[in-house]
Amino acid sequence: MNVLRPTLLTLACLLAQPAMASDLPSLGDASSAMVSPQQEYQLGRAWLSIVRGQVSQLSDPQLKDYVESSVYRLAETSQVQDRRLEFVLLNSPQINAFAAPGGIIGVNGGLFLYAQTEGEYASVLAHELAHLSQRHFARGLEAQKRMQLPVMAAMLAGIVAAAAGAGDAGIAAIASTQAAAIQEQRRFSRQNEQEADRIGLVNLEKAGYDPRSMPSMFERLMRQYRYDRMPPEFLLTHPVSESRIADTRNRAEQFPAGGTEDSLRYQLMRARVQLTYEETPGIAAKRFRAQLDENPNMDAARYGLAIALIKGSQFDEARDVLAPLLQKAPNDITYNLAQISLDSAANHLPASEQRVSRMLDLYPNNYPLNQARIDLLLKQRKIPAAEQALNDLLKRRMKDPDVWYQVAEVRGLSGNTIGLHQARAEYFALVGDYNQAIEQLDFAKRRASNNFQLASRIDARQKELIEEKRMTEEMLRG
């Protein structure tokens, strides 16, 4: 998706605005008070809502769950103080990941394609978390006092416009706000990246990974793209040099050996992404078959073949391919979700329901399993049960627009018109369309006019969204 290139390149430039490494204040130092943590939080959420509304994302619950759990694992041992993280999984096969002010973590689907091990994947995200923990955004503003927060907010708005295909208008907005500072950004970027590398390596080791994964990732990417005129966004925003590789290699070698380099779960998620970006399920199946021919014990390739066959409606063969995996690990969530998908697609709904129930007894709070149950209930036309299950899921995923979108659909099917408008309002607010959100609550209030308490709650929520809209526009307008 070429439209993402201006977004991710410029965003990373925005975030890579550090003070000199020797001058970095300690966290909480007054010198970084130009932008408070709360301002960063608000700005990040405003930016995220617009990105969600205008840039294509991957809505696969298993991938979302993996990214969230893996980043939280890294955050637990990091220096990130505010762990109110939000995630966006972008639908692009290009390699990239980024951290935006206020705890926004962005991951391209392409990161799974390029990071061949979990350690390499984790090294990229540990690096991005270091940008957050060191508050490089705020310190960059301190280093360039002439660039105030509204200017940077306007720059974010231009980035989103370019990402959404606004073309020259978006690029012009970026250029007009960026021109005065671009040289300073470039001058300081090396120190910023070095610090993120150093802190990322420490965090990798604390989280149980082998820090050598970071230089390995850099080395392979440099070999692959050494002579390319236009390398992927990740290398444009994180320039890799021989000296940077040598520095991270030397630092990594100082840690004891024995950390995690890879995991089967990562390879299973990687297979899902590989299938997503193949032209057809048949082409994906052919590639997974070739991997199995080379290594018959490669479980990730067997899993990839199974889900490719399910997607291609070759159910009998998919069942045969999947069976050895379930025999080996009968309680594995990923394998059981594949079998649930297979049984549901083949209209073996009782078998699918039985498996969902058994797995939820083992893992009651697992997001992908709960989502699979909801999908199955909808296929069975058990609308009230699906609505209740979605309401339960909302308690844990109140900021997930995918969930709110489905809540609106199901409330419509159940005849809950007021709830439908309320759910649509929450969805539109999360994707940055406040006008639609406020209008949906107008519809809900009219329907609830005979219920004073409900109408009052809807009115209060509408006032909250009006205020959010005002603040967001103020920040992004500058």
Q: Which residues contact 292 (CB under 8 A, 6 or more apart)?
A: 298, 301, 302, 305
Query: Rounded to an integer, what distance in angstroms lies between the CA atom of residue 431 and that of residue 402?
Result: 10
Q: Which of 118, 142, 197, 387 is catalytic?
A: 197
Q: Is 136 annotated as a binding residue?
A: no
Query: Rounded to an integer, what distance in angstroms lies between the CA atom of residue 216 and that of residue 466?
Result: 49
State the Rg of the chain over Cα. Answer: 24
3-class secondary structure, 460:
helix
Catalytic site includes residue 128: yes
> Between the CA of residue 73 and those of 70, 108, 208, what are the distances in Å?
5, 19, 10
> Is the Cβ–Cβ distance between 139 and 24 less than 8 Å?
yes
Closest C-alpha among 17, 15, 8, 18 to residue 43? 15
Judging by DSSP bridges, how do beta strands 97-100 and 86-90 pair with one another? unpaired
Q: Which residues pair with 260 in a beta bridge?
A: 209
CA dihedral 131→134→135→136, nearest 10 degrees, is -60
Closest C-alpha among 373, 296, 300 to residue 332? 300
Catalytic site includes residue 197: yes
Query: Rounded to an integer, what distance in angstroms lies between the CA atom of residue 11 and that of residue 159?
Result: 7
At 180, phi and psi to the nearest 5? -70, -20
User: What would the 3-class secondary structure string for 406-426 be?
Assistant: HHHHHHHHHCCHHHHHHHHHH
Q: How far is CA 356 from the centre of its chain?
A: 26
Q: How far is CA 326 from the centre of its chain?
A: 29
Q: Which of 40, 60, 68, 128 is catalytic?
A: 128
Query: Rounded to an integer, what distance in angstroms lies between the CA atom of residue 421 and that of residue 436?
Result: 10
Q: Is 193 annotated as a binding residue?
A: yes
Residues making up the binding site: 127, 131, 193
Q: Which residues are annotated as a binding site for Zn(2+)?
A: 127, 131, 193
User: Which residues are designated catalytic?
Assistant: 128, 197
